[in-house]
Amino acid sequence: MAIFYNYVQRGLTSLSHFALTGASIRHMLSNKLVQGGTDLVYILVPFVLLLLALALCIYINPGPNVRQSNKTAWLKQVPIAHRGLHTDDADVPENSIHAFRRAIDKGYGIEIDVQLSADGRVIVFHDYNLKRMIGLDMNTADLTWDQLEGLRLLDGDQGIPLLKDLLSLIDGKVPLLIEVKNEGAVGPLEQALIDDLQDYTGDFAIQAFNPFVLAYIKKHAPQYIRGQLSSDFKNEDLAWWKKFVLRYLLLNKISEPSFVAYETGTLPGWLAKRLKQKGLYLLTWTVKDMESYKRDIQIFDNVIFEGFEAPRK
């Protein structure tokens, strides 16, 4: 891997040099051929990688055209409340039973985040650490459900819900969009999620940034609707090639999503067009005001929103 990375880095350096000096590609290659083959390899490797990546982008293959399926029609029918219809205070905190009840009462779909407690329970909570929402500098994965159950969100009266309890509350009244929070080993959380959803008959879908999470769901519960989360990852601490692969959905072949949920304002127009041609639904997150909603609804099939009440179609 170090050798591969070195090839790419040297190639990009050479390309940058010739771009800045205005030299032609023909002149560049002629010089490298005269100097020897090694430097030429450093030049060609980035070209080859770029061509391969573009080819994969063009041939994104999510499978059957889901836009023609009644099973997935709910994905575009009602706006989806991000972590429930929450407020910024302790009365109705994000991912709380109060926030979920408000969304149900308003007829909105609900988006949630799920993780695994230390003893294998599927909990509804966004952050990997409890500091922001609970005030404790501890990781959720290090605590059992008995330890998590008594904690309160933002010092209010709302606690961390179990997924099973939320499913009982929703009971098919509104659609549910479940984000799997997993940047580590795939398997335990995904299987626990599948087990919890086994008898649930309401509309739901599973989404994740990690395409290998979706690949696991595809293998072990292929009947579940899957969605690939993405962004430009501009502010994420990731290697450039990881950002490229994730941004342009180069692993869609292994996850075969029914929809893509892309961060608002970051989806390239050509990619949006291609995804729709392939039969994918397009969702966007997180829309936070009416102006953004009016812009995004022209491009996307549905929005994941917070901070205001999105219009229902």
Query: Alpha-carbon torsion 263, 205, 148, 87, what sign?
Result: positive
**Annotated domain spans of the chain:** 2-58, 66-305
**Among 50, 69, 66, 47, which residue's Cα sits nearest to residue 58?**
50
Q: Quickly count helices (H) and strands (E) in the chain.
A: 13, 9
pLDDT attached to residue 25: 45
In this prediction the pTM is 0.83
| CA-to-CA dists, residue 188 to 18, 116, 217, angstroms | 49, 8, 12
Kindly list the averaged pLDDT for each block of 10 residues, start to end, along the chain of length 313.
Answer: 47 45 48 53 56 58 68 95 96 98 99 98 99 98 98 98 99 99 94 99 98 98 98 95 94 93 97 93 98 98 98 87
Q: Name beta bridge partners: 114.
A: 124, 180
Beta bridge partners of 227: 207, 259
**Which pLDDT score, from 0 to 100, does residue 313 have?**
75
Burial classification of residue 234, based on how many CB atoms lie within 10 Å of its CB (0-12 exposed, 13-18 middle, 19 or more buried): exposed
pLDDT for position 73:
93
Cα dihedral across residues 242, 247, 253, 257: positive or negative: positive
> Residue 70: what pLDDT?
83
State residue 69's pLDDT score. Answer: 77
Tell me the two tokens of residue 173.
């009244």
> What integer pLDDT is reported at residue 267 of this predicted model?
97
Q: Does domain 66-305 have CATH number 3.20.20.190?
A: yes
**pLDDT score at 183:** 83
Q: What is the pLDDT of residue 184?
A: 85
Residues in CB range of 158: below 8 A, 6 or more apart: 90, 92, 93, 96, 97, 98, 152
* Predicted local distance difference test score (pLDDT) of residue 19: 41
